[in-house]
């Protein structure tokens, strides 16, 4: 319904809730229980608190670089909430809300950004792939997982995430082309936050929308208001149903905005003006959903403050455990890329081991 009604070639964008939290298209509202909706909101709020606290730790020199999620919480939570726990998730690195909703432990997440790769070692029942550092390569992993699901006779799907900059990479093309040709059960999510680090969206592709690129691959595509969790959820739910029933892959462009920096190593004031940021703050996805919940008597400002305080304390105590987790064994840096160390890796390992001994480390 959504994909057919909002053809990206016609410049259509799916929006159900406006900036004031008001439903402007009742006929398009997805069926979400109050309980699930509150859980989605709380996850978005949790993500925001983690961002705030983690940025403080990084500025205090207690954590390595970090990629804030500020402004993209609806895109992350709205998409993953439409999947089921047995479906695979292949993420980039800015999917904190999706990780949390899917069940990634906070300890693991903070451990990863602390610089310990074991943070991406998820519990067996949490089907999230580790962060894929090469841009867009995770979409190929998602395509492979979906193809494997078909070969095994299962009905699990694979959802893959990428930023707008990642759509200019060859891996994006190869993954979508393979998925379309093989009719794999994939849902590809593009978090179009307007900037690939400092490169504006308009400078990295001349296409009017990213969603319309789906047409060339032979799959449905749609652009949604990425700050409207109902639009995000509705489109993803339809794409997931299609994939699970053998209808093949889909591409969803979530039109959103990165309110913060690309990472803590970035200074966005060098390439965008404050006026633009202020305009997008008015579309904040968390404020939007909170207004809606309050209008429905499902939430209050008092509950909000209490929840923020509780989350803050939990992040603080969890990060203290991370700080006390100890050093990573040197072998961990060399042992997991190949089954056995290559001669070159062995040389590097021995060299580093000798250096550590020389400094008493």
The predicted structure's pLDDT at residue 74:
98
CA atoms within 13 A on the CB side of 203: 8
The predicted structure's pLDDT at residue 129:
96
In angstroms, the CA 276 to CA 41 distance is 26
Helix (H, G, I), strand (E, B) or coil at 88: strand
Q: For Cα atoms 77, 96, 154, give the angle at the middle one, nearest 5 degrees.
A: 65
Q: What is the pLDDT along the chain (361 residues), one digit of tens a residue?
A: 999 999 999 989 999 999 999 999 999 999 999 999 999 999 999 999 999 999 999 999 999 889 999 999 999 999 999 999 999 999 999 999 999 999 999 999 999 999 888 999 999 999 999 998 899 999 999 999 999 999 999 999 999 999 999 999 999 999 999 999 999 999 999 999 999 999 999 998 999 999 999 999 999 999 999 999 999 999 999 999 999 999 999 999 999 999 999 999 899 999 999 999 999 999 999 999 999 999 999 999 999 999 999 999 999 999 999 999 988 889 988 988 899 999 999 999 999 999 999 988 7
Does residue 100 contact residue 91 with C-beta atoms inside 8 Å?
A: no
Helix (H, G, I), strand (E, B) or coil at 187: strand
Q: Residue ranges of the alpha helices (H) in the chain?
A: 2-5, 34-59, 73-80, 96-102, 106-114, 137-151, 170-182, 201-204, 213-217, 229-244, 274-281, 285-295, 301-323, 330-334, 343-358
Q: Which structure tokens are listed for 52?
A: 């705030």
In angstroms, the CA 271 to CA 264 distance is 15
In angstroms, the CA 341 to CA 94 distance is 31
Q: Which structure tokens are listed for 20?
A: 């004031």
List the one residue out of 38, 44, 145 whose CA is nearest residue 98: 44
The predicted structure's pLDDT at residue 132:
84
Reported in sequence order, the residue ranges of 283-326 that DSSP labels E, i.e. its strands, are: none
Q: What burial class does residue 12 get, using C-beta atoms within 10 Å of its C-beta: 0-12 exposed, 13-18 middle, 19+ buried?
A: middle
Rounded to 10 deg, the angle between the 285-295 and 34-59 helix axes is: 150
List the one residue out of 241, 237, 278 whose CA is nearest residue 32: 237
Residue with tokens 């070692």: 121
List the one residue out of 81, 69, 70, 79 whose CA is nearest residue 38: 81
Report which DSSP code applies to 23. B
The predicted structure's pLDDT at residue 17:
98
Helix (H, G, I), strand (E, B) or coil at 224: strand
- Has this prediction a pTM greater than 0.75? yes
The predicted structure's pLDDT at residue 64:
85
List the one residue out of 154, 161, 181, 169 whose CA is nearest residue 86: 154
Residues serving a catalytic function are 258, 262, 271
The predicted structure's pLDDT at residue 327:
83
In angstroms, the CA 136 to CA 161 distance is 8
């Amino acid at each position: 319904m959504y994909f057919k009604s909002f053809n990206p070639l016609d410049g259509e964008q799916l929006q159900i809730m406006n900036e004031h939290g008001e439903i402007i298209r009742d006929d398009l509202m997805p069926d979400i229980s109050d309980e699930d909706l509150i859980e989605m909101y709380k996850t978005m709020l949790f993500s925001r608190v983690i961002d705030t606290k983690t940025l403080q730790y990084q500025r205090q020199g207690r954590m390595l670089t970090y990629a804030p999620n500020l402004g993209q919480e609806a895109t992350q939570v709205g998409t993953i909430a439409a999947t089921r726990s047995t479906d695979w998730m292949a993420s980039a690195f800015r999917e904190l809300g999706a990780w949390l909703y899917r069940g990634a432990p906070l300890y693991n997440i903070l451990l990863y950004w602390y610089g310990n790769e074991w943070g991406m070692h998820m519990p067996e029942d949490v089907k999230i792939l580790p962060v894929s550092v090469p841009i867009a390569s995770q979409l190929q992993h998602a395509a492979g997982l979906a193809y494997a699901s078909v070969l095994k006779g299962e009905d699990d799907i694979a959802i893959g995430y990428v930023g707008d900059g990642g759509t200019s990479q060859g891996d994006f093309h190869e993954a979508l082309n393979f998925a379309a040709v093989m009719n794999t059960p994939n849902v590809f999510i593009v978090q179009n936050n307007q900037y690939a680090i400092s490169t504006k969206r308009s400078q990295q592709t001349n296409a009017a929308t990213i969603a319309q690129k789906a047409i060339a691959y032979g799959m449905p595509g749609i652009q949604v208001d990425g700050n409207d969790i109902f639009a995000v959820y509705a489109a993803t739910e339809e794409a997931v149903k299609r994939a699970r029933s053998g209808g093949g892959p889909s591409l969803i462009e979530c039109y959103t905005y990165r309110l913060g920096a690309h990472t803590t190593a970035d200074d966005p004031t060098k390439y965008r003006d404050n006026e633009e940021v202020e305009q997008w703050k008015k579309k904040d996805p968390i404020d939007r959903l909170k207004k809606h919940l309050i209008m429905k008597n499902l939430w209050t400002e008092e509950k909000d403050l209490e929840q923020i305080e509780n989350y803050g304390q939990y992040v603080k105590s969890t990060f203290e455990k991370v700080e006390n987790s100890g050093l990573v064994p040197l072998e961990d840096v060399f042992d997991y890329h190949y089954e056995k160390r290559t001669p070159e890796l062995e040389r590097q390992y021995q060299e580093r081991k000798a250096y550590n001994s020389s400094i008493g480390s």
